């Protein structure tokens, strides 16, 4: 359990669609394997969760619903994975007006619960012309001429990454085949995109092959039109964006947050993120970065890494991400009784510079002395030898 409970990577989002006297709420969730608690049973590792939802209006419970998921895997390394996950959903109707949504997650094999902030919603009626919550999707599938949209499911945010995501824009009281949208960022930069109408009426949310899909529902209900904005997210920086319907001032705007979902933990402290550059940079450059106001550390850090960016046409920097992911791994794997942060150890420094070695070997002696050999091939073509004299995990680079 100590090895597994590193993060609480739990995401949930609510998509509501007004009907005649109430709204239907599709409440979806996603939790990564690293946040679950796995127990070994023979050659399997088993885990799961229970997801509970209560809706309140005027202090009274208006609905309760739950969902459960079980997971069984063979590979122990996946129990710490941030890239493998469980998804689920519940649907519930709630009357118009102000409402509160409470959710709770119980982790199977543990007495731990994941705390989820309460969401307060205005359950809207159909008599307004507005953009409802934009829905972020990550894939489009065609089957028998019908399109299905794979829900991104990261709490209604666009992941800041090297991948490109699309958005479904639900708008009431309009049915034109295309609309022009203006995307504005916090720094006042903006661009326009064309959205094509792809769904009419309230869509169906279904789970297929353990993923959540959105598809055309009842076509007799023409209240809603969904417009698809394709593959634009790689133009976006972290932060909030506003989505406006150009030349349609009567339609209220919508917004989305662009979130670095799997942002390396080492980037949570901007000063430390700069100081750790001493592994690859001269002290003079570090002092230059640290000479600005603390509020500008992150901005300066991104400027520093821009010269290594393999794709300058997008804000996301793959090399910066790789470096700080290596710092996170080094912190986790190479600490000792003497060094809390493994990135400060000799093994951590080599790992940050060169990545994971192709092969690791160890030799032991009766006096607790341990030698560890790291082998790199290819263009690196080097061998590093570390010695742990006392057997306490403090490996020193000796050759």
140 shares a domain with 92:
no
62 shares a domain with 16:
yes
358 shares a domain with 276:
yes
Which of 98, 104, 92 lies closest to 121 in space, CA to CA? 98
Q: Where are the beta strands (DSSP E) in 74-172?
A: 85-95, 97-107, 113-114, 119-123, 135-143, 146-151, 158-159, 166-172
Residues 271-295: b if buried by 16+ CB within 10 A, e if exposed = eebbebbebeeeeeebeebeeeeee
Among residues 207, 227, 262, the one where a domain terminates is 262
In tens digits, what is the pLDDT along the chain, a chain of 399 residues? 334 444 558 999 999 888 877 888 999 999 999 899 999 999 999 999 999 999 998 888 989 999 999 999 999 989 988 889 999 999 999 888 888 999 999 999 998 888 888 888 887 666 566 677 899 998 888 776 678 999 999 999 999 998 889 999 988 777 789 999 999 987 778 899 999 999 888 889 999 888 999 988 777 777 788 999 998 898 899 999 999 988 777 777 889 999 998 899 999 999 999 999 998 999 999 999 999 999 999 999 999 999 999 998 889 999 999 999 999 999 989 987 777 789 999 999 999 999 999 999 999 887 778 999 999 999 999 999 999 987 778 899 999
Q: Is 333 helix (H, G, I), strand (E, B) or coil?
A: helix
DSSP string of 247-303, one letter each residue? T-TTSBPEEEEEE-TT--GGGSSHHHHHHGGGGTS-HHHHHHHHTS-GGGHHHHHHH
255 shares a domain with 132:
yes
147 shares a domain with 23:
no
Q: Is 117 helix (H, G, I), strand (E, B) or coil?
A: coil
Given this model, what pLDDT does residue 50 score? 96
296 shares a domain with 218:
no
257 shares a domain with 132:
yes
Q: Which domain holds residue 189?
A: 128-262
156 shares a domain with 255:
yes
Radius of gyration for the chain, computed over Cα atoms and rounded to the nearest angstrom: 25
152 shares a domain with 36:
no
Count of structural domains within the chain: 3
What is the number of other CB atoms lying within 10 angstroms of the CB of residue 95? Answer: 14
Q: Is 327 helix (H, G, I), strand (E, B) or coil?
A: helix
Q: How many angstroms separate the Cα of 184 from the Cα of each of 167, 179, 205, 208, 372?
A: 15, 16, 29, 34, 53
User: Could you tell me if 174 and 227 are in contact, meaning their C-beta atoms sit under 8 angstroms apart?
Assistant: no
Among residues 262, 284, 315, the one where a domain terminates is 262
| Class of residue 127 by CB neighbours under 10 A (exposed 0-12, middle 13-18, buried 19+) | exposed
Residues 163-194: b if buried by 16+ CB within 10 A, e if exposed = eebbbbbbbbeeeeeebebebbbeeeeeeebe
145 shares a domain with 111:
no
320 shares a domain with 243:
no
Lookup: tokens for 262? 């799997």
CA distance 339 to 349: 13
User: Could you tell me if 272 and 266 are in contact, meaning their C-beta atoms sit under 8 angstroms apart?
Assistant: yes
Going by the DSSP 8-state scheme, the letter that residue 130 receives in this structure is B
Residues composing the chain: 399
Lookup: tokens for 168? 């479904």
Which residue matches tokens 């742990």?
Answer: 388
CA distance 340 to 376: 26
CA distance 5 to 29: 19
Q: Which CATH number covers residue 104?
A: 2.60.40.10
At residue 45, φ and ψ (nearest 5 deg) are -120, 120
User: Could you tell me if 160 and 302 are in contact, meaning their C-beta atoms sit under 8 angstroms apart?
Assistant: no
Among residues 101, 126, 151, the one where a domain terminates is 126
């Amino acid at each position: 359990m100590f090895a597994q409970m590193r993060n609480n990577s739990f995401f949930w989002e609510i998509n509501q669609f007004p009907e005649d006297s109430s709204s239907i709420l599709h409440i979806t969730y996603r939790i990564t394997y690293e946040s679950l608690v796995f127990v070994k049973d023979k050659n399997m590792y088993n885990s799961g969760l229970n997801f509970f939802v209560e809706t309140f209006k005027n202090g009274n419970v208006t609905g309760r619903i739950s969902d459960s998921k079980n997971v069984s895997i063979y590979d122990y390394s996946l129990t710490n994975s941030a890239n493998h996950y469980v998804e689920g959903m519940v649907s519930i109707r709630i009357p118009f007006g102000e409402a509160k949504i409470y959710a709770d997650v119980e982790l199977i094999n543990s007495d731990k619960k994941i705390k989820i902030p309460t969401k307060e919603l205005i359950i809207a009626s159909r008599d307004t012309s507005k953009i409802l919550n934009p829905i972020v999707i990550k894939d489009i599938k065609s089957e028998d001429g019908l399109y299905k949209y794979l829900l991104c499911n990261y709490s209604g945010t666009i992941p800041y990454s090297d991948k490109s995501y699309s958005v479904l824009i639900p708008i009431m009281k309009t049915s034109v085949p295309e609309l022009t949208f203006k995307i504005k960022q916090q720094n006042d930069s903006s661009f326009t995109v064309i959205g094509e109408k792809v769904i009419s009426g309230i869509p169906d949310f279904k789970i297929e092959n353990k993923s959540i899909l959105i598809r055309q529902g009842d076509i007799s209900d023409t209240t809603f039109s969904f417009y698809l904005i394709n593959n634009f997210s790689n133009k976006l920086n972290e932060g909030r964006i506003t989505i406006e319907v150009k030349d349609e001032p009567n339609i209220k705007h919508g917004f989305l947050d662009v979130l670095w979902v799997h942002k390396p933990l080492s980037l949570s402290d901007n000063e430390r993120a700069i100081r750790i550059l001493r592994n690859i940079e001269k002290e003079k450059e570090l002092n230059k970065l640290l000479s600005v106001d603390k509020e500008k550390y992150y901005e300066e850090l991104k400027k520093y890494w821009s010269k290594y960016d393999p794709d300058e046409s997008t804000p996301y920097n793959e090399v910066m991400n790789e470096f700080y992911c290596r710092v996170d791994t080094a912190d986790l794997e190479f600490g000792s009784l003497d060094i809390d942060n493994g990135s400060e150890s000799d093994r951590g420094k080599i790992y940050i510079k060169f990545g994971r070695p192709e092969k690791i070997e160890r030799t032991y002696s009766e006096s607790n002395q341990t030698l560890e050999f790291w082998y790199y091939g290819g263009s690196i073509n080097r061998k590093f030898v570390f010695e742990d004299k006392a057997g306490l995990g403090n490996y020193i680079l000796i050759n």
